[in-house]
Structure 1
Amino acid sequence: MPRPRLLIAALAFAALAWLLFAAAERALALAQRFLQLPGWLQWTLGSALGLFALAGLAVLWWIVRPRRARRAVDAPDRGTLEQRIDRLHTRGADTGTLHAELGELDRRRAEARIYLALFGEISTGKSTLIRALAPQATVASDARGGTTRQVVHVDGALPDGRPLTLADVPGSREAGGEARETLAREEALRAHVVAYVCAGDLTRTQAEEVRWLAAFGKPLLVVLNKADQWSEAELAQLLERLRKQTGEDAAMVIAVSAGGSERFQRTLPDGGVEQVERQRKPVIDALWKALARLASPGAEGLEAQRERAVLAGLHERVGTLETQTRAAEAERIVRRYAQRAVVGALAAIAPGSDLVIQGALAAALTRELARLYGVPASDVQVDDFVRQARLTLRTGSSIVLAIAGNALKAFPGLGTLGGGVLHAFAYALIFDSLGRALAASLAERQSLDQADAADKLKALLADGSGARMKELAALTLDAWKEKAQS
């Protein structure tokens, strides 16, 4: 080592030693001063320093802790799913699309073709990329922002000759394109491999889409398109950022250029200008290599992951339909009991001051809604719930009557028919509010929660606006006309 370098090393060592000794001396001085403090102050400062140290260690552990493996989305077995679909069908729900999804699952399994879905936001070049992967195919598109309006399948082949079907799906995050985005997500679940196409750094929304796709456990590529617009250094930095953003969600992150057409102006020898359109050559070798690697198990080897993703997606769709079907059935039940309450009120000779004299009807409503939501409810629980509802209604009876009277004034002739109609409309309002509150509570809590249902009941009773009042008034009017004609 030359003398200057030895001198620099010696000076650096001396400086480091001096810093260590100074730090040690300062620490000893602080410790000595700390020991001279009163006992209570020592405990206070010691506790504060201890908490600060623990917080620092917690932050350090959060930074360096090993990341948990991604948990795949739960998927039921097919038999259980088919039973749920059949039950929905018997209850009158439209299950045609669900049965069609299972049929498509079987059809693709029998085909033994590998399906690749290109997923991503609008205008990232998915359709152009498919044309580069399958030049002989024609992919329909238009000039609007978000070219693909439906799922388009294109037949192609992997470099080794195995058949490949490319699915061009509608782009996400298009204004008014929620239905097309649903089509895109469903098609992505049906594919063996998914390529998420982007044109730059991932936004928060795009990163969430990648995580959603990865949660189904299928091979996932992140494909950076339009790579020819960056320099080599910029492209390397961008790919590194994408790898950090996606982490373990993506099997690979690659860059491609789908090519396509470009327009520019050319100056002519006579000084004129003309518009020129030319085709750029695609650069997609990295994508072919990635596809060959991910598709190496073949359609049969990837089928289990694909089927699991399809069943998981169906599980979510069936759950949504079950919720909607229960809600519709609950609506019919509540309306039926509100109608019965109106009829009972109109038949009463002398309505009492307590608006909930039809306790048996309220108990029957409670039992039927509990059965609908699969919540066990004993007679004691039902009686307690009805008793609590009666107390809630008794304290709010003046509000109920005031709302009923104001609502009836909106219907010419109905508000002048006397106290019997007012009393009947109050019953309609009570049973409608009680049924809706109970149904909402059962759906959320999956139990007969008196306090939660009571809170919802109070809110509904105090709401005297909207179409609900018109429906209840119409129901009361129909019942009154039937009584008058009989």
Structure 2
Amino acid sequence: MKKAGSSFRRVLALLVAIASVLFLLFIFFATRSVLDIWDRMQLLPPTLFYTYTTIIVAFVLATIWLIWKLLKPVSTNSSHDIDNISKESVIEDIEHAEKQGMDTAQLRRELEELESRKETGTIFVALFGNVSTGKSSIIKSLLPNAEIDISVRGGSTQEISQYTWSSSSGDRLVLTDLPGRNEASGSLDELSNDEAVRAQIVIYVTDSDLSRTQFNDIKELQSFGKPLIIALNKSDRYNDEEKQLLKQRFEERIESDAQLVFVQSGGEEEVIRIDKNGVESVQVRPRKAKIEELAEAVQQEIDTQSGLLNQLRDASVFVLVKQKLDAEKVGFRQEKAAAIVKSSTRKAVMGAMASVSPGADIVVQGYLGTRMVKDLCELYNAPVKQLDIDKFLDFSQDQLKKSIPIILAVAGNGLKAFPGIGTVAGGLVHAVAYGMIFDALGKSVTKTLEQRGQLRAAPAALTFKEMLSENLESRAKLFARLVFEQREEHK
């Protein structure tokens, strides 16, 4: 073993030596070539010299730019591209969804609420943050007469509450006390997010250095481009040096115009009192509130961005409505697509029961197949030409040819499971086969439209082939039952 290890080290040392020599030779030859080229360039006329130098520099810069583009991280905020979302585009999307049968009443109310807030001229400020960070206590400090439940237990705020506050300059503000982020029930985060989006200014409250979750929350709020103030509560726990370090760390992690302010929201604190006899007792006393820095930051945002606050809030609400609409579209389209596929498949089965000859021609040229593909493309707002449909059905027929014998055999076996069928007639077998074909065809088109946003003939045909061969026996029994029931009804 020792000899083997020693031999390996000798071979490794030899390889290192050879690699070093080769590298040095490369450096020597490269240096000589560069110097040789430079000497030759000195002999060129000035015009040719500078032209050649410019070409080399341009090539190097282009290479560096290309490498930077390849290594540049992909932006994750494309879904919040505010510049491309306007009131007109959102209303147009809502109207299109209504034509398809979607219930958009809630989205309409969202836009109406936006208009209502704009008419009042009031500035809406949302307090956002994790549970027990002191959001309610801050509002209590600003509005001493407001009845707010402040509890040392996490999550004392269980619903959205609003309080009116007049700033020192006379501006009328509505402070929205949001439920604590990460409530135990897990159902309040969406409400808090939505209300934070509807506000014109967001105050994110924390009582410690930012965690990863809080940092992600702030990045999400920043993507809407509205004024954001980070309020670090319980600041009495830090001295001036520690505050400076926290502010420096904050500026390093948050690359934006967000402000960091230190506040002490008041509330109550426990103190240990020792009397003259040396007996200790625990007493609860009010803690002095220090929120002047926060009030000044809010006023500064109002004064410096008064003309932009409404625009920023409107843009954020439009993004919110668009996101909700897109999310609801997914479920609606899936449900509607399943109904279209089911209806078309049933019609194909019933039509095939009267057919006496097999044939995959219905997949390529049949009216039902073409109509189903058109309906699905219309549902997904994906314009499609008849040529594209014919191309897809042509590809699908090629995929189907090899599978027809297997499908017919499986369909026949499926029909034998039902009493009263007797010797399986050709028309019934074809009806089951058509049911399996249409079901796979419709689902493949739906999946392609969901993934690509438009009908792509080749990928959709490959998906059709995969779905056609999945769960053959169970699908054959399903459509055999349908054929059996239809046959019994028409006896």
Give the alignment's TM-score, normalised by structure 1.
0.75
- How far residue 219 of structure 1 moved from its aligned partner, in angstroms, is 1.2
- How far residue 133 of structure 1 moved from its aligned partner, in angstroms, is 2.1
Unpaired runs of at least 5, structure 1:
1-29, 44-52
Distance 1:417-1:114 versus aligned 2 partners, 3 A rule: farther
Cα contact 2:364–2:390 (8 A) shared by 1: no
Write the deviation string for residues 91-131 of structure 1: whole angstroms up to 9, x where unpaired.
Answer: 32121111111111111112111111011233322222222
Q: Percent identity?
A: 31
Write the mapping of 1:293-312 to structure 2, written as runs, cut at 5 A.
293-296=300-303, 302-312=309-319
Say what the alpha-carbon RMSD is for the aligned residues: 4.3
Q: Structure 1 residue 211 and structure 2 residue 211: aligned? A: no
Write the mapping of 1:21-420 to structure 2, written as runs, cut at 5 A.
37=28, 73-74=82-83, 76-140=85-149, 145-174=154-183, 176-177=185-186, 179-250=187-258, 252-263=259-270, 276-296=283-303, 302-349=309-356, 351=358, 356=363, 359-397=366-404, 400=407, 418=424
Question: In structure 2, how many angstroms separate the alpha carbons of the residues matched to 1:128 and 1:458?
Answer: 62
Paired AA for residue 127 in structure 2: L
Q: Structure 1 residue 457 and structure 2 residue 464: aligned? A: yes
Question: In structure 2, how many angstroms separate the alpha carbons of the residues matched to 1:263 and 1:369?
Answer: 66
- How far residue 384 of structure 1 moved from its aligned partner, in angstroms, is 1.8
Cα contact 1:89–1:95 (8 A) shared by 2: yes
2:174 counterpart SS class: strand
- More off after superposition, 188-197 vs 76-85: 76-85
Distance 1:443-1:353 versus aligned 2 partners, 3 A rule: closer
- More off after superposition, 262-271 vs 150-159: 262-271
Write the deviation string for residues 207-251 of structure 1: whole angstroms up to 9, x where unpaired.
Answer: 23222222222111111122222233222211211122112151x
- How far residue 42 of structure 1 moved from its aligned partner, in angstroms, is 7.7
- How far residue 304 of structure 1 moved from its aligned partner, in angstroms, is 2.1
Aligned length: 437
- How far residue 188 of structure 1 moved from its aligned partner, in angstroms, is 1.2
Distance 1:371-1:185 versus aligned 2 partners, 3 A rule: same
Cα contact 1:404–1:426 (8 A) shared by 2: yes
Question: In structure 2, how many angstroms separate the alpha carbons of the residues matched to 1:141 and 1:415?
Answer: 73
Distance 1:329-1:353 versus aligned 2 partners, 3 A rule: closer
Question: In structure 2, how many angstroms separate the alpha carbons of the residues matched to 1:215 and 1:273?
Answer: 52
Residue number in structure 2 paired with 1:480 = 484
1:347 counterpart SS class: coil
Distance 1:452-1:163 versus aligned 2 partners, 3 A rule: same
Question: In structure 1, how many angstroms separate the alpha carbons of the residues matched to 2:465 and 2:442?
Answer: 12
1:119 counterpart SS class: strand
Give the alignment's TM-score, normalised by structure 2.
0.75
- More off after superposition, 302-311 vs 398-407: 398-407
Question: In structure 2, how many angstroms separate the alpha carbons of the residues matched to 1:255 and 1:406?
Answer: 76
Write the deviation string for residues 373-419 of structure 1: whole angstroms up to 9, x where unpaired.
Answer: 3333333322221121122223344665687689889x886999957
Question: In structure 2, how many angstroms separate the alpha carbons of the residues matched to 1:388 and 1:107?
Answer: 54
1:167 counterpart SS class: strand
Distance 1:140-1:430 versus aligned 2 partners, 3 A rule: farther
Write the deviation string for residues 460-485 of structure 1: whole angstroms up to 9, x where unpaired.
Answer: 3343299xx68x86665345323322
1:438 aligned to which of 445, 461, 472: 445
Question: In structure 1, how many angstroms separate the alpha carbons of the residues matched to 2:382 and 2:408?
Answer: 32
Distance 1:168-1:380 versus aligned 2 partners, 3 A rule: same
- How far residue 141 of structure 1 moved from its aligned partner, in angstroms, is 6.2
Unpaired runs of at least 5, structure 2:
1-20, 35-59
Paired AA for residue 152 in structure 1: S
Cα contact 2:411–2:480 (8 A) shared by 1: no
Write the deviation string for residues 123-173 of structure 1: whole angstroms up to 9, x where unpaired.
Answer: 322222222222221234667643333221112221233322111112334
1:194 counterpart SS class: strand
1:453 counterpart SS class: helix
Distance 1:401-1:209 versus aligned 2 partners, 3 A rule: farther
